[in-house]
A and B are shown apart, each in its own frame.
Chain A
Amino acid sequence: MKDLGNETLVGRSVQRTEDATLLTGRGRFIDDLAVSPGTLHLAFVRSPHGHADIRSIDVAAARAVPGVTTVVTGADVRRLTRSMTVGVKAEVECWPMAVDRARYVGEPVAMVVARDRATAEDGADLVSVDYAPRAAVIDPNATLADDAPVLHDSLGTNLINERRFRYGDPETAFAHAAHRIGVDVVYPRSSCTPIETYGVVAEYLPGEGAYDIAANFQGPFSIHAVVARALGVPGNRMRLRTPPDSGGSFGIKQGIFPYMILAGVAARLAGSPVKWIEDRLEHLEASVSATNRVTRLEAAVEPDGRITALDWDQIEDCGAHLRAPEPATLYRMHGNMTGAYRIPNLAIRNRIVLTNKTPTGLNRGFGGPQVYFALERLVHAIARDLGLDPLDVIRTNLIPADAFPYRTPSGAIYDSGDYPAALALAVEEGRLDELRARRDAARAEGRAYGIGFACVVEPSVSNMGYITTVLTPEAREKAGPKNGAQATATVAIDPLGTVSVKVASVPQGQGHRTVLAQVVAEELGLAVDAILVVADVDTARDAWSIASGNYSSRFAPAVAGATKLAAARLREKLARVAASQLNIAIDTVAFRDGRVVDGNNPDNSVSFARAAAASHWAPGTLPEDVGETIRETVFWTPEELAAPNDRDEVNSSLCHGFIFDFCGVEIDPDTAELRIDRYVTMHDCGRILHPAMVDGQVRGGFAQALGAATLEEYAYGDDGSFRTGTLAEYLLPTVHEMPDLLILHHETPSPVTPLGAKGVGEGNCMSTPVCIANAVADALDSEGRGPDLVLPITAAKLSGLIHPDEPKPSEGVRPAETDKAVGGGRKLTGTGAAEVDASRQEVWDMLMDPSTLDAIIPGSHGVRKVSDTEFEAEVTLGVGPVKGLYTAEIVLSDMEEPEAVTLSGVTRGALGTGQGKGRVTLTEVEGGGTNVAYAYEAEIGGKVASVGGRLLDGAANVVIGEFFRALATHAGGGAGSGAFSRMKVRARTGLSILKSMIGGSR
């Protein structure tokens, strides 16, 4: 590496500085860091209900567990913190833990601190919370209905904010347009789910009145202010540190901040440092999700496909609380609502609603997927409605090359680009003609093959002021302007003359350290591996600002740019030092191969280290105007990022990259499997600093987008129950799902960033889902618009579309079926019957006898008879990996002794809830036996429904099947096995029903 010329480092795919450490297992992730002796561990008690009042919390049993030191509830949190800042003006409190009411499944309700995690979880299991469930609402349209359950009484509505915007003259454009063409889009919830979950280590220092918190947080560090305020300490008493390595984030680790607050409170109450590592269920159900959104988008269109106006109506679902920095997902794209198109008139109605789902936050693509799914589905619809080629509609509307820098109607300044040229290049190099021929050939054979397109403007380097667009101009005026995006970088020289770089970029695998080493090495004529880069943050020691962190694809344009500026300043000073050391003019000084040389006479040189270290060892010898060369810190904020103006125009991001994608897909006629035949993605991300890393960002983003498009959804029941609590339910793409990807580039350097680079990591999350959807629509309907498609486009959904009248599987043995339950939970139903060798009365008596019940209920710790028809039981049951303690209340009704009885049960436990009903019918058969028939219907919520979904159905079957086998054996075994054992087997008839209600198997 040492022989690389200095001028050519940036733009090369040099090996990553990070890799040797990571590959040998020596990374330092949050869970790898040493903690202080005496550090305790934290476990959470979480709401199994989507919406419930918390009547009381009994922590006595948890406190009594040996090793448990502290139990913290919402009341403690309210006492020791302040409600978290909410980004809109609204009468609403936002706590990191449920206070009096739980509003989503997985919401923290209590925390248990103990000597180790397992003990803390033991304690958490014993925290007994008395909930009074309320009706939940999970749909963004339904939550706006007059009779919808209201989440926050103080707000009185679930509509927390609404704003309308108007740019140009949309009304006139629509009035005069030849066509008004619209689409309705439902965009679901998903998340980029890093493989490493959240982790926090928190300490409270009473002597300082300060918190010291380490977390694998990713930024933005504006959140630091939210945390300090919530904890009620000045900013300088809230030290936040990030670990050197972080196992992916993609936006998600912004959402850890409520846990920083909670861990801080726990540490304060426990009087010891406290550590918490999130588990996967916690991550899926309660970390953070992208927003789901319902959109109606209409366009005023001329006969040639030219769009003269857009009218957006967006309902953004931010979940149960509007947590910082929301509603940023909605406003991040505000400047870009016309996409890559020259559309002069624009109307926008934005409504932000709350529902009983996890609060939302940063997620790769951040607002882009939702917007472009609607916009590019609309372009497809326009083409089809008007009988045009979609590509021609795109071409007709693209912003022309000579329009740059281009100001959109809503205020974004597109810094650079040549969209038509990039598109033409993609069509050629991606061999669109050939792809079309493939499609035609496939169709001629009757195969379902389609081609889709998508055009996207990818914003990067967020304006920290864009979020204030949610406020009216008057409210903004009052609050004072917010804008900019401070990036900082420090380049420092130590007494041995070696160079260190310090930035506050907090990478999660993006290779920041390598790129910065490249940038600085090039500037100073050093080898890449001679530069040491530190990119994690300690707010007590480092230069940082609110925009610090790793989000909005700001690294290459902003952080690398600021680093370049700092290195250039240092170089300039060092040139002066060396000029005086070498006795030459400053403008002949060159930095090469670790030396500072006279450009006119290479023999006259000094080692870089010697020139660089002079400031330490002999400051008196430095030329007077140099000052020092020990440390150069640059703060850089682009002037283009102004606050929103009084017309609500906002340059929401500094840079605007361009993406044009197209793909060919085929749907298997039998399995409905979607196969991506070819995918071409063209990127203009300005200047490319490291081609292999850009490639990695594009591929990684594409993989996540493919997941969002075809596999991933955070699924909820109507009662707010969470259905996708494991990676076996929330499916991520594996190597088998990844198609070949043709990645193309067309570079137009950004004029507004120091290195000409733009962001690149998020674009495919915006373009790919809709590109695939358009291709699927084309495959399903080669002439018309195709069906409305809702992501993820799974084989199950496609199967319904291509085989609409397929008959249901024939009835025979009826297994437990899952279905939509009345209450919205996961519903199981089943029926069965068996003949047993006992009289009806014997079976009946057993069902009524608590001591028999206790002996035969699997995992029972005691059955109490409350009245003749009511029983209470404590049982330990497990489904797959999930095992827990439940209390069951069983009520007998519709009793027709000894013929039939209905058993209704409700179970509650740390792992979830269940309720159900079973009707048992006893009929005499000839020869003295009894036919025991049953039919049950059960509904399961809470943790078991989240993680056990796919196991429950099978589990119920197995239990019931086993019962009947055993019953038959025993009954057939005759009297010799004794009355009790015969009774035991038989009694399980009814109990299996109860058990399946709870979801047990064993």
Chain B
Amino acid sequence: MPRMKAGETREIQFRLNGREVTVRVAPRDLMHDVLRHRLGATGTHVGCEHGVCGACTVQVNGAPARSCLMLAGQADGQDIRTVEDLCDGADLSPIQAAFRDNFALQCGFCTAGILMSLDALFARDPDAGETAIRDTLSGHLCRCTGYAPIVRAALQARDSIKGGQTDA
């Protein structure tokens, strides 16, 4: 990355949910702010801005990443995916459907980050066991559900993705 000065801005380009976007950023602009307030992708939420809660998790080249710990400039040339891309049209993806079936969300503020982490997990390891699922979930704080329904939803989602079903 070229070195930039405070106050200077630069145009960056990246893929957001399959579409090329171009946006002018300052060195200190954080990824989540650019996604939410510049590009209108408000599905990604911010809970702590210091990397603990996981609410802001997006995928960078398929791997989960905290958008609050990422400078927007780092997105240049990367492939970024957010919760808005999980489903096609009106149909929920298997993970989303499993969350609905299992009452795995209440306020829904933590949910986008969890969905993005699980989506990345199942893409990497379609047979992820409960331990791997719990390890993934341990990077996310949910204050509403007590987690048990989220674990159930994740297990259902894994099975439904493996079974090739799209509607759980």
Chain A residues within CB distance 8 Å of chain B: 13, 15-16, 18-20, 22-27, 29, 31-32, 118, 192-197, 245-248, 250, 279-280, 508-511, 692-693, 695-696, 699-704, 726-728, 732, 734-736, 738, 740-741, 881, 947
Digitize B91-117: 1 where CB-to-A-CB distance is under 8 Å, 0 elsewhere.
Answer: 010001001110101111111100100
CB within 8 A of B108: which of A23, A701, A881?
A23
Cβ contacts under 8 Å, A508 to chain B: 107
Instruction: Find out whether the CB atom of A194 lies under 8 angstroms from the CB atom of B107.
Output: yes
Q: For the complex formed, measure the closest distance between the CB of B57 and the CB atoms of chain A, giving whole angstroms.
A: 12
- 7 other contacts beyond A23-B87, A702-B146, A704-B143, with CB at 8 A cut-off? A20-B92, A24-B84, A24-B96, A25-B82, A509-B106, A695-B149, A700-B146
Instruction: Find out whether the CB atom of B48 lies under 8 angstroms from the CB atom of A194.
Output: no
The 17 sampled A-B contact pairs (Cβ below 8 Å) are A19-B108, A24-B87, A26-B43, A31-B46, A195-B107, A247-B47, A247-B110, A280-B48, A508-B107, A509-B105, A696-B146, A700-B146, A703-B146, A727-B53, A736-B138, A738-B146, A738-B148
Determine whether B150 belongs to the interface, using a CB cutoff of 8 Å to chain A: yes
Tell me the bound Cα distance from A545 to B140 in angstroms. 37
Instruction: Find out whether the CB atom of B99 lies under 8 angstroms from the CB atom of A23.
Output: yes
Instruction: Find out whether the CB atom of A29 lies under 8 angstroms from the CB atom of B109.
Output: yes
Determine whether B134 belongs to the interface, using a CB cutoff of 8 Å to chain A: yes
Instruction: Find out whether the CB atom of B147 lies under 8 angstroms from the CB atom of A25.
Output: no
Cβ contacts under 8 Å, A22 to chain B: 105, 107-108, 111
Cβ contacts under 8 Å, B150 to chain A: 735
Ranked nearest first, the 5 interchain pairs of A and B with the lowest CB-CB distance are: A25-B43, A509-B107, A247-B109, A22-B108, A699-B146
Instruction: Find out whether the CB atom of A31 lies under 8 angstroms from the CB atom of B42.
Output: yes
Cβ contacts under 8 Å, A31 to chain B: 36, 42, 46
Also in contact, A23 and B115, with CB within 8 A (given A18-B108, A509-B107, A736-B138): yes
Q: For the complex formed, measure the closest distance between the CB of B33 and the CB atoms of chain A, giving whole angstroms.
A: 8
Tell me the bound Cα distance from A22 to B103 in angstroms. 12
Instruction: Find out whether the CB atom of A881 lies under 8 angstroms from the CB atom of B106.
Output: no
Nearest-CB residue, chain A, relative to B139: A734
Interface residues of B in 31-78 (CB under 8 A from A): 36, 41-50, 52-53, 55
Cβ contacts under 8 Å, B83 to chain A: 24-25
Nearest-CB residue, chain B, relative to A736: B138
Cβ contacts under 8 Å, A247 to chain B: 45, 47, 107-110
Q: For the complex formed, measure the closest distance between the CB of B155 and the CB atoms of chain A, giving whole angstroms.
A: 13
Instruction: Find out whether the CB atom of A728 lies under 8 angstroms from the CB atom of B108.
Output: no
Interchain pairs with CB closer than 8 A, number? 165
Determine whether B166 belongs to the interface, using a CB cutoff of 8 Å to chain A: no
Q: For the complex formed, measure the closest distance between the CB of A704 and the CB atoms of chain B, giving whole angstroms.
A: 7
Nearest-CB residue, chain B, relative to A118: B28
Nearest-CB residue, chain B, relative to A197: B47
Cβ contacts under 8 Å, A245 to chain B: 107-108
Instruction: Find out whether the CB atom of B143 lies under 8 angstroms from the CB atom of A192.
Output: yes
Instruction: Find out whether the CB atom of A196 lies under 8 angstroms from the CB atom of B92.
Output: no
Determine whether B142 belongs to the interface, using a CB cutoff of 8 Å to chain A: yes
Nearest-CB residue, chain A, relative to B148: A699
Tell me the bound Cα distance from A736 to B148 in angstroms. 10
Determine whether B144 belongs to the interface, using a CB cutoff of 8 Å to chain A: yes
Cβ contacts under 8 Å, B26 to chain A: 118
Instruction: Find out whether the CB atom of A195 lies under 8 angstroms from the CB atom of B53.
Output: yes
Determine whether B145 belongs to the interface, using a CB cutoff of 8 Å to chain A: yes
Determine whether B23 belongs to the interface, using a CB cutoff of 8 Å to chain A: no
CB within 8 A of A248: which of B44, B86, B144, B151?
B144
CB within 8 A of A703: which of B49, B53, B107, B147?
B147
Determine whether B120 belongs to the interface, using a CB cutoff of 8 Å to chain A: no
Tell me the bound Cα distance from A246 to B108 in angstroms. 9
Cβ contacts under 8 Å, B16 to chain A: none
Tell me the bound Cα distance from A701 to B145 in angstroms. 8
Tell me the bound Cα distance from A695 to B112 in angstroms. 22
Instruction: Find out whether the CB atom of A29 lies under 8 angstroms from the CB atom of B45.
Output: yes
Instruction: Find out whether the CB atom of A246 lies under 8 angstroms from the CB atom of B107.
Output: yes
Instruction: Find out whether the CB atom of B143 lies under 8 angstroms from the CB atom of A195.
Output: yes
Q: For the complex formed, measure the closest distance between the CB of B69 and the CB atoms of chain A, giving whole angstroms.
A: 9
Summarize B's interface: helix, strand, loop or mixed.
Answer: loop
Q: For the complex formed, measure the closest distance between the CB of B123 and the CB atoms of chain A, giving whole angstroms.
A: 18
Q: For the complex formed, measure the closest distance between the CB of B93 and the CB atoms of chain A, giving whole angstroms.
A: 9
Determine whether B137 belongs to the interface, using a CB cutoff of 8 Å to chain A: yes
Q: For the complex formed, measure the closest distance between the CB of B113 and the CB atoms of chain A, giving whole angstroms.
A: 9
Tell me the bound Cα distance from A930 to B36 in angstroms. 58
Tell me the bound Cα distance from A339 to B96 in angstroms. 42
Cβ contacts under 8 Å, A19 to chain B: 99-100, 105, 108
Nearest-CB residue, chain B, relative to A693: B103
Instruction: Find out whether the CB atom of B143 lies under 8 angstroms from the CB atom of A250.
Output: yes
Determine whether B12 belongs to the interface, using a CB cutoff of 8 Å to chain A: no
**Of listed A25, A250, A508, residue having the most chain B CB within 10 A:** A25
Cβ contacts under 8 Å, B101 to chain A: 15
Tell me the bound Cα distance from A280 to B68 in angstroms. 12
Determine whether B141 belongs to the interface, using a CB cutoff of 8 Å to chain A: yes
Instruction: Find out whether the CB atom of B109 lies under 8 angstroms from the CB atom of A248.
Output: yes
Tell me the bound Cα distance from A696 to B106 in angstroms. 8
Q: For the complex formed, measure the closest distance between the CB of A201 and the CB atoms of chain B, giving whole angstroms.
A: 14
Q: For the complex formed, measure the closest distance between the CB of B79 and the CB atoms of chain A, giving whole angstroms.
A: 18
Nearest-CB residue, chain A, relative to B112: A25
CB within 8 A of A735: which of B86, B105, B137?
B137
Tell me the bound Cα distance from A727 to B111 in angstroms. 18
Instruction: Find out whether the CB atom of A734 lies under 8 angstroms from the CB atom of B141.
Output: yes
Q: For the complex formed, measure the closest distance between the CB of B9 and the CB atoms of chain A, giving whole angstroms.
A: 12
Also in contact, A248 and B143, with CB within 8 A (given A29-B109, A509-B106): yes
Tell me the bound Cα distance from A700 to B106 in angstroms. 9
Instruction: Find out whether the CB atom of B145 lies under 8 angstroms from the CB atom of A699.
Output: yes
Q: For the complex formed, measure the closest distance between the CB of B160 and the CB atoms of chain A, giving whole angstroms.
A: 15
Instruction: Find out whether the CB atom of A696 lies under 8 angstroms from the CB atom of B47.
Output: no
Instruction: Find out whether the CB atom of B103 lies under 8 angstroms from the CB atom of A692.
Output: yes
Q: For the complex formed, measure the closest distance between the CB of B11 and the CB atoms of chain A, giving whole angstroms.
A: 19
Instruction: Find out whether the CB atom of A24 lies under 8 angstroms from the CB atom of B50.
Output: no
Q: For the complex formed, measure the closest distance between the CB of A738 and the CB atoms of chain B, giving whole angstroms.
A: 5
Cβ contacts under 8 Å, B145 to chain A: 696, 699-700, 703
Tell me the bound Cα distance from A246 to B142 in angstroms. 14
Cβ contacts under 8 Å, B138 to chain A: 734-736
Cβ contacts under 8 Å, B111 to chain A: 22-23
Cβ contacts under 8 Å, A192 to chain B: 143
Also in contact, A196 and B103, with CB within 8 A (given A280-B48, A732-B141, A736-B134): no
Instruction: Find out whether the CB atom of A509 lies under 8 angstroms from the CB atom of B103.
Output: no
Cβ contacts under 8 Å, A510 to chain B: 106
Also in contact, A194 and B143, with CB within 8 A (given A25-B83, A509-B107): yes
Instruction: Find out whether the CB atom of A196 lies under 8 angstroms from the CB atom of B115.
Output: no
Nearest-CB residue, chain B, relative to A28: B42
Cβ contacts under 8 Å, A13 to chain B: 103
Instruction: Find out whether the CB atom of B134 lies under 8 angstroms from the CB atom of A735.
Output: yes
Instruction: Find out whether the CB atom of A735 lies under 8 angstroms from the CB atom of B151.
Output: yes
Also in contact, A193 and B103, with CB within 8 A (given A31-B42, A727-B48, A741-B148): no
Tell me the bound Cα distance from A702 to B147 in angstroms. 11
Cβ contacts under 8 Å, A700 to chain B: 106, 143-146
